[in-house]
């Protein structure tokens, strides 16, 4: 029952957010590369880098050579919500922005995982 409710909520949420204008802009403070861990994700997706751009997100995983761009993003106050297709499945990310780190979760049809992101130092 819980899994069906979660899937229904995810489907409705994706439809509502996807229909909103895609004029989201990430604040300059957060633009750059963020290392992440997702301890309960499938093994090959437990860590990697999320590159936050002005109006998009690109994910790479430590043990996967591909890059995964966001389909859409929504920025509101201190929250970033975006969707990325990973292995032919839509994954919804909901992150809370903080200067030192970003936390949140990723939800897909088989479950969810907490995520912790830490800003990578830029090389001069």
Whether the model clears a pTM of 0.75, i.e. scores above it, the answer is yes
- Other Cβ atoms less than 10 A from the Cβ of 116: the count is 15
The answer to whether 95 and 12 are in contact (CB under 8 A) is no
Q: Note the pLDDT of residue 1.
A: 52
Tell me the domain boundaries of the chain: 2-119
According to DSSP, residue 54 is labeled S
Q: Which CATH superfamily is domain 2-119 in?
A: Quinohemoprotein amine dehydrogenase alpha subunit, domain 2 (2.40.128.120)
* Beta carbons within 8 Å of 20's beta carbon, 6+ residues apart: 74
Strands 89-97 and 57-61, by their bridges, are unpaired
Give the C-alpha separation, 62 to 46, whole Å.
8
Q: Note the pLDDT of residue 21.
A: 42
The answer to whether 67 and 57 are in contact (CB under 8 A) is no
Helix (H/G/I), strand (E/B), else coil: 56: coil
pLDDT tens by residue, 58-116 = 999 998 999 999 999 999 888 999 999 999 999 999 999 987 789 999 999 999 999 99
| 61: nearest Cα among 53, 51, 52 | 51
């Amino acid at each position: 029952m819980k899994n069906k409710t979660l899937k229904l909520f995810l489907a409705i949420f994706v439809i509502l957010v996807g229909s909103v204008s895609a004029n989201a802009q990430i604040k300059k403070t957060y633009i750059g590369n963020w290392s992440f861990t997702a301890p309960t994700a499938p093994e090959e997706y437990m860590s990697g880098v999320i590159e936050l751009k002005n109006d998009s997100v690109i994910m790479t995983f430590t043990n996967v050579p591909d890059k995964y761009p966001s389909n859409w993003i929504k920025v509101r106050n201190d929250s970033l919500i975006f969707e990325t297709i990973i292995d032919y499945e839509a994954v919804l990310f909901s992150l809370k922005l903080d200067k030192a780190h970003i936390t949140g979760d990723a939800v897909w049809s088989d479950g969810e995982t907490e995520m912790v992101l830490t800003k990578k130092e830029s090389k001069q």
